Structure 1
Amino acid sequence: MGRTGKGQAGERGRIRRLFTWKKLLGTFFVGCLLAMGAFYVLYLMVPVPTANADATLQSNVYKYANGKVLARTGKINREIVGLEKVPLDVQRSFVAAENKTFYKDNGVDIKGTVRAAWNTLTGKGKQGGSTITQQYVKNYYLSQDQTASRKLKEIVIALKVDQNMSKSEILAGYINTSYYGRNAYGIQAAAQAYYGVDATKLNVAQGAYLASVLQAPSQYDWTFAGPEGRKLVEARWNYVLDNMVDEGWLNAGERAGMKFPAPQKPKAPKGMSGQSGYIVEAANAELMRQGVSEEDLKAGGWTITLNIDEKKQKALVKAVDKQLEAKLDRKGDKKDATVQAGATSVNPKTGAVVAMYGGIGATEHWTNNATRRDYQPASTFKPLVLASALDNHSVTQDGRKIGLGTIYDGTSKRKVVGSAVAFAPENEDDQNYGPVTVQKATNSSINSVYAQMIVDVGPTKAKQTAIGLGMKDGKDFGATPAMSLGVMGASTMDMAGAYATLDNHGVKVTPTLVKSAEHKDRKADPVKSIGDQVISREAADTTTKAMQGVVQSGSGTRAAGDYEAAGKTGTSENNRSAWFVGYTPELVTAVGLFGEDVKGNQVTLTNTINVGRANGGKTPAEIWGAYTTTALGGGSSASFDLETDGTSGGDTGLPTPTETASDSPSPTPTATGGASTPPEPPTPTGTTPTQPPTSTATTPPEPPTPTGTKTIEPTIQPPPDGTGIVDSRPGDQ
């Protein structure tokens, strides 16, 4: 036993000699030095990495002209904003919630980090213990993994970031990269998701709630939280505000009067369905024409404010729904399903596209019917021919100046005179009108008159005028007599632009969707929507006067309302498209119907929306009238301020169309004279006759054309380059 006791005492002595306080202290210091050395090596070896894959992703935000969000696009709902756009007291609410020493520390909270690590190791749960700088580093450069290696990297990078970035930059990065719930990344998306405002409009109470929600986005969403969850988030909110008072950032009296700002209920994200997709697609195309690359748009971060007027946009959709969609059976009738509608509405004074209708819905029919150019505008092109004749001071084949009172031969299938390319278009229903004024020919959309007029003007000159007004050139835009019937391709936006230029007294108007487009560090140049004088005011205003007759007593009477209006109908070959394009002094709108089967082929509109032809004077004019009435608040007292050429094509007392050529023969030009009208008595120089030749003056008054009369299907094709008459049937009203 004695030896055993001595052995134990000796053992204890050896232990004391091995673990003296000096040795323990020395080991501790050596360990600290080694740790510091290792950390220094780590500090040198760990670089500040590039941003992680999701940190810089943003959505593009598209807004109505009034600032309300129309759509958001992109993988992540984030819109990065500068700190200057966040109120100072809102900025401080985040500091009060997460890191009161933020403005003083070096980016790392050693005590908090050690405490969090200890709690994690001892099974008390994973805890952050991070500064705002560390959380920013985690969000922007690293991942959300709770591992020791990731935590070490976080500390090292946070120290470096704090040395190289200002506190404002770090705070901005933090609030822009954090996740707030409701699929909202960053404070701007969170402000919209929870309070329906931009970040710049947040107040301190709302800011304190958003700062609170970061701790547990799902648990602290007021809408979905249970009684216990609401108690927790309200306690967190009070904690944030009390900290602000302690730091001197908030007045105690103001704090005492604050009430918890319950957020709004979640709303479905503003996506690409309905008309939004069409508008976003068209806006992106406009931005790319202005030099913004497709890659730049896909990267996100753009705030794009549109010229779209929310009220007018809804009015246009409602008009199409009521006048067209409510009358179709898309699911049960294959023919009804072929009808597509498109429309563009423009402010003629600014060029702003205030409303657009692209189709039944961008997720159902992606092709934008408002911007597509694969359908013919038909007789909506005729006013551009008239504008060209007036602007070029053109004369008929027998030397008479062309004006609204100029008399032409309205005989159906009449061969044009003076053209190297033969052309003999048929009028609607093959009607023979005999001698008619240009005004009457415009009202009734007489093909034979406008075919001769474009020859008188010169097809090349007419094409130049059309392009100057806003039409787009293309391989199908041939300078031939058939061009008078609108056989080229055009979109509703093209036609709205051309008519807007006429409405704007001949000053070029380019329809523009994008009001402004801003990234955090750059802007896109807007389209120059108002240009130069492209035709004379007299020519533009006289054309407007002619089209007023179309609405008052011609083929477009269904577009009439409590406003002054001018417009033109159009129906293309085989009734594949039907149009009404018109304007008031304040608003220009082009409406088109297009026949398209499930394979995307063009088909006839006949016997779809109504029995017989779906001509432009029916449903398109009805849509136009319904929309315009609502868009103008029920009507308008605005008047056209016209400076015309002084001619008048009064619509009474003129020869009437004949049912057959034998009932009342229409005079035709002689083969040698090349005149476009029968001989007339001499008139004073510089004037045009306003009455038809006396030989036909006794023709009885014209009966009204029956509504809905079945017409002959048009079969017109652009004439070949050779000779040979194109025998066509382009019926158009």
Structure 2
Amino acid sequence: MGRADARRARQGNARRAKPKQRKPKQDKSFIRRLFSWKKILGAVLGVILLGMLGFLGLYLYVDIPKTSNQDAAKQSNVFQYADGKIIARDGTVNRETVPLAKIPKEVQNTFVAAENKTFYHDSGVDLWGTARGILNTLMGHGKQGGSTITQQYVKNYYLTSEQTVTRKLQEIVISLKVDDKLSKKQILEGYINTSYYGRGAYGIQAAAQAYYRKDVEKLSVSEGAYLASLLQAPSQYDWTSATPTGRKLVKQRWAYTLNNMVEMHWLSPSKRAKQTFDSAVPKPPKPLPGVTGQKSYLIDEAKRELFAQGVDEKQFEAGGWTVTLGIDRKKQQALEKSVKHRLLDDLDAKQRKDDANAQLGAASVDPKTGHIVALYGGEGPPKHYRNNATREDYQAASTFKPLILASAMESGAKTQDGVPITPATIYSGHNRRPVVNSTKPFAPPNEDEHDYGNISVQTATNNSVNAVFAQMGADVGLGEIKKTAVSLGLNGERMDVQPAMTLGTMGASPLQMAGAYATLDNHGKKVTPTIVTSATHGEEKLRLRDPIGGQVLSQRTADTVTSVLTGVVNDGTASQAVKNTAYEAAGKTGTSDDDKSAWFVGYTPKLVTAVGMFGESPNGGAQVTLKGTGGGGRVNGGGYPAQVWADYTQAALGGRTGDKFQLNTDQGAWAAPTAVPTPSNTPSATPTPSTSPSETPSHSPTPTGTPTETGRPTGRPTDPTPTNTGFPDGGTTGGDTTDGGTTTGGDTTGGTSRGPGGGNGKGGLTDFN
């Protein structure tokens, strides 16, 4: 065998060698056997199949209802006084169905653009939006998720507004069948005519009358866009009563609607550019049929309150409710009579054009229950639609100052010299004194440019001295003051945190101010004025929020501020109007810039009433001055507002005039202080050098003596401000009086000595704000 043969033999033997053995297959894990992709796919397909079979069964089982829902048979709503006497019945259904052809095409398109751009092409159901809505319902997130116009029409006409999965599934099935049975025009017509627009208006014709006082065929595209925008939140988006946030949202919704119309080629860009929201702003609401005067204000406020507490607006307008108000008929009549006697009888718009500008609003609250017992909103529709008692567009002026003092005491604030702020703390009342450590330069004038010199906080409150409270605002901190004001019920959205806020430049309503002062009267426990005391629907009784809340101010702070405010009534800016009253009272006047608003907010141990007087042009409603009203000069808080308050309070209290404040304090005008107030060596109020003569008095020594206190007399409470001859500005003890004090003036309206009042012998103030 040659070498070649031997090599081939070796290679053949190698090929015949025993092959390598393969490793045996390992068993699959339990998880992989349980969740194989085939099984997962089969499970998913099975669920889909079951869902399809279930939906098919539901589709075959559920049919289009033969009749409309229960809203078609509406009932009356009954409103009644606290004693059960009926105020009014709201039983007329405000709806008039109109054919689609009567609605301008552009107005029709606003509803499609706002709610469902794909309406003309979809199957009547938005599956993704509906699924989202069902998920939100199951998660308890309430009314969320998208619906087509067809779905909303089905809900309006056939179903109810309840938020359940069953109702949502019914809506899907019926919507598919309705879309198959009816034309898109029929569905759109039904939707526009069955939707609720607020103001008791069902359907677009009623809405056109309620908001624009015109028939539907005369609506513009801007007006149509506003009505279409309303459907998302009728009460929140009603321009007349909307909050600043509500107004912002409805304007955004209006613009969104018109922009969608451009996108869908239903409105040209040039015509869109010409649309302004001003042309879409609605007119004030009209009263309910047969309801005029104060009744319309009472009912509107009751509705607003119920809707704010979660009552579905559409369900309420369907009727069947009995609503009891806390309004005391006798007090309501007394308030209306006092306004007529003390203000309206004094006005003559035919002889004096300024008299036509005067508007008055008032709210009276029981501080123990929080119930609104009387409310005056104006002369009432058709003379005046807007409720003056709840409007927030006029400045609160100096009625805000007690809240600054409350914030100072509650937060333990100190002056620039580290002296705790109390009613006895000495501040500078120099006119136009620059505020120390202000967030921006600020040197406000006092009323009539009056210079008070160094005075106590009590005296400054009595005479509403701007210079003192401007500095106190910087000492306390503007943010802290806003926090206190909001806790007492004022609207933080209307409060610009600027130095001028210390003068009450924020908007506030008489009702809000009544609530803030009621909290003071209630020893610091929060009072939220409430007009509805009971609301029932059939056998169901609505659970209402308690008007009395927790402690937002300490009792000592609240009672001290009350004590201070007795000085305003007895010896300050309101004393002339209420000097002959037979009851113990506290309160504060206020007059805003250019005399556009004048206020008095006062209270007794049993009753809190805020009276606001506003200058409003009868032509367009713009804010105007009150000067010249009644044939006089300026209108101040101590004038008409305090007079109305005093007259009403006397009548409302009746035989309860002997009630006394039970205050836990030893400070202020109500109680004799137990300690002598001692100004610091360099008072917080030390004037900053200025070229103004009033800022550089000829006699400006630092107070050297400790002021002495006058004891509390047995008669009317007095200002505890010390009698002192060592304060700047010369003179002896006063001068800031309405009668022109000279050497013995004092800070009173009659000229009797009461404490360190600026002492320059000028006097002659006609009003102290």
**TM-score bracket for this pair, using the shorter chain length:** 0.5 to 0.7
Residue number in structure 1 paired with 2:759:
none
8 Å CA contact 2:627, 2:634 repeated in 1: yes
Alignment match, 1:669: 687
* Amino acid of the structure 2 residue aligned with 1:356: L
Match of 1:604 in 2: 625
Q: Give 3-state SS (helix, strand or coil) of 2:630's partner.
A: coil
- Look up the equivalent residue of 1:520 and give its one-letter code: G
Cα gap change, 1:308 to 1:400, in 2 (>3 Å): same
Report how far residue 71 of structure 1 moved. Answer: 1.5
Counterpart residue number, 2:79? 62
Query: Unpaired segments of 5 or more residues in structure 1?
Result: 1-46, 78-268, 652-665, 708-729
Shift of 1:569: 0.3
Report whether the alignment pairs 1:379 with 2:398.
Answer: yes
Query: What CA deviation, in whole Å up to 9, does each residue of 1:658-709 have, x standing for no partner?
Result: xxxxxxxx9943569xxxx98555979xxx99465725485244363159xx
Counterpart pick for 1:323 among 328, 337, 342: 342
Measure the CA separation in 2 of the matches of 1:69 and 1:689.
52
**One of 633, 644, 649 as aligned partner of 2:654:** 633
Q: Quote the Cα distance in structure 1 between the aligned partners of 2:524 and 2:703.
A: 33
Where does residue 615 of structure 1 map in the other structure?
636
What amino acid sits opposite 1:642 in the alignment? Answer: L
Q: Flag the 1:383–1:695 CA change in 2: closer, same or farther, 3 A.
A: closer
- Give the superposition deviation at 1:334: 3.0
Partner of 1:572: 592
- Per-residue CA deviations over 1:631-668 (Å, capped at 9, x if unaligned) read 001651100011125466999xxxxxxxxxxxxxx994
Counterparts in 2 of 1:270 and 1:563: CA distance versus 1, 3 Å:
farther
Match of 2:90 among 37, 54, 73: 73
Equivalent positions of 1:364-443 (< 5 A) are 364-443=383-462
Give the direction of change, closer, same or farther, for the CA distance of 1:606–1:505 in structure 2 (3 Å limit): same
- Partner of residue 526, structure 1: 544
| Alignment CA distance shift 1:428-1:670 (3 Å) | closer
Structure 2 equivalent of residue 550 of structure 1: 568
Q: Is this contact kept in 2: 1:59–1:302, CA < 8 A? A: yes
Question: Do the aligned partners of 2:439 and 2:499 also contact (CA within 8 Å) in 1?
Answer: no
TM superposition shift of 1:554:
0.5
Q: Distance in 2 between matches of 1:632 and 1:613?
A: 30
- 1:330: Cα distance to partner? 3.5
Cα 1:668–1:311, aligned 2, differ >3 Å: closer, same or farther?
A: same
The alignment partner of 2:560 has SS state of helix
Say if 1:615 and 1:518 are closer, same or farther in 2 by CA, change over 3 A. Answer: same
Q: 1:480 aligns with which of 489, 495, 498?
A: 498
Structure 1 counterpart of 2:291:
272
Give the equivalent residue in structure 2 for 1:354.
373
Could you tell me whether the CA contact under 8 Å between 1:407 and 1:690 is conserved in 2?
no
How far 1:63 moved relative to its partner? 0.4
Is 1:456 aligned to residue 478 of structure 2? Answer: no
- 1:644 equivalent in structure 2: 665
The residue number in structure 2 matching 1:507 is: 525
Q: Distance in 1 between the 2:462 and 2:359 partners?
A: 26
Encode CA deviations 1:224-268: one digit per residue, 9 max, x unaligned. Answer: xxxxxxxxxxxxxxxxxxxxxxxxxxxxxxxxxxxxxxxxxxxxx
Equivalents in 2 of 1:650, 1:581: separation in Å?
Answer: 21
Residue among 579, 582, 588 paired with 1:562: 582
1:594-648 superposed Cα distances (whole Å, 9 cap, x missing partner): 0111201000000013411110000000000000000001651100011125466
What is the TM-score normalised by the length of structure 2?
0.56
Deviations 1:352-381 (A, max 9, x none): 000000000133211000000000010000
CA distance in 2, matches of 1:331, 1:67: 41
Cα distance in 2 for residues equivalent to 1:523 and 1:472: 30
Alignment partner, residue 155 of structure 2: none
Give the distance between the partners of 2:496 and 2:83, measured in 1 at CA. Answer: 42
Kept in 1, the 8 Å contact 2:598–2:613? The answer is yes
* Aligned equivalent of 1:699, options 732, 736, 748: 732
Conservation of the 8 A alpha-carbon contact between 1:582 and 1:590: yes
For residues 94-142 of structure 1, what are the alpha-carbon distances to aligned partners after superposition, in whole Å with 9 as ceiling and x for unaligned? xxxxxxxxxxxxxxxxxxxxxxxxxxxxxxxxxxxxxxxxxxxxxxxxx
AA paired with 1:550?
Answer: V
Residues 608 and 304 (structure 1), Cα distance of their counterparts in 2 relative to 1, 3 Å cut: same
Does residue 594 of structure 1 match 2:614?
Answer: yes
Does 1 or 2 have the higher relative contact order (CA < 8 Å, sep 6+)? 1
Structure 1 Cα separation of the partners of residues 621 and 73 of structure 2: 39
Task: Spell out the pairing of 1:706-721 with structure 2 (5 A cutoff).
Answer: 706=739
Q: Aligned in 2, Cα 1:283/1:386: closer, same or farther, shift over 3 Å?
A: same
The equivalent residue for 2:681 is none
Q: Deviations over 1:129-188 (max 9, x none)?
A: xxxxxxxxxxxxxxxxxxxxxxxxxxxxxxxxxxxxxxxxxxxxxxxxxxxxxxxxxxxx
The answer to whether the 8 Å contact 2:568/2:574 transfers is yes
CA deviation string 1:380-430 (max 9, x = no partner): 000000111111111111111111111111011111111121111111110
Distance (Å, rounded) in 2 between the aligned partners of 1:564 and 1:679: 37
After superposition, what is the alpha-carbon deviation per residue over 1:488-515, rounded to whole angstroms, capped at 9, x for unaligned?
0000000000000000000000000000
Q: 2: CA distance between counterparts of 1:521 and 1:430?
A: 63
- Summarize the alignment of residues 8-87 of structure 1 with structure 2, pairs less than 5 Å apart: 50=67, 56-75=73-92
Give the RMSD, CA atoms, in angstroms. Answer: 3.3
CA contact (8 A) 2:566 2:586 kept: yes
Residue deviations 1:413-459 (CA, integer Å, cap 9, x gap):
11111112111111111000001111110111111111111111111
Distance 2:564 2:440 in 1: 28
The whole-number CA distance in structure 2 between the counterparts of 1:527 and 1:516 is 11
Aligned position for 1:154? none
Long gaps (5+) in structure 2: 1-63, 95-287, 673-683, 691-699, 708-719, 741-765
Counterpart-to-counterpart distance in 2, 1:704 and 1:682 = 25
Contact 1:346-1:511 at 8 Å conserved across structures: yes
Q: Distance in 2 between matches of 1:689 and 1:556?
A: 18
Match of 2:507 among 475, 480, 489: 489
**Aligned residue identity for 2:74:** L
Distance 1:614 1:274, change over 3 A: same
Q: Over residues 31-75 of structure 1, what are the superposed CA-to-partner deviations in whole Å (9 max), with x where a residue is unaligned?
A: xxxxxxxxxxxxxxxx99647989721121110000000112131
Deviation at 1:480, TM superposition (A): 2.2
Distance 2:359 2:689 in 1: 45
User: Could you report, residue by residue, the CA deviation over 1:288-338 in whole angstroms, capped at 9, with x for unpaired residues?
Assistant: 110012212221211100000110000000000101111112455432111
Q: Kindly provide the amino acid, as one letter, of the partner of residue 592 in structure 1.
A: G
> What amino acid does structure 1 have at the position aligned with 2:737?
P
Secondary structure, aligned partner of 1:61 = strand
Measure the CA separation in 1 of the matches of 2:412 and 2:650.
36
Q: State percent identity of aligned pairs.
A: 51
Question: What are the within-5 Å matches in structure 2 for residues 167-246 of structure 1?
Answer: none
Count of aligned pairs between the two proteins: 457
CA change 1:294–1:503 in 2 (3 A) is same
Closer, same or farther in 2 for the Cα pair 1:703/1:534, shift >3 Å? closer
Larger of the two Rg values belongs to structure = 1
Change (3 A) 1:313 1:693: same
How many angstroms apart in 2 are the aligned matches of 1:445 and 1:700? 19
> Counterpart of 2:384 in structure 1: which amino acid?
H
Residues 305 and 515 in structure 1, CA contact (< 8 A), matched pair in contact too: yes
Q: For the structure 1 residues 398 and 68, does the alpha-carbon distance in structure 2 shift closer, same or farther, using more than 3 Å as the test? A: same
The CA distance in 2 between the partners of 1:647 and 1:325, in whole Å, is 36
- Amino acid corresponding to residue 396 of structure 1 in structure 2: T
1:538 aligns with 2:556: yes
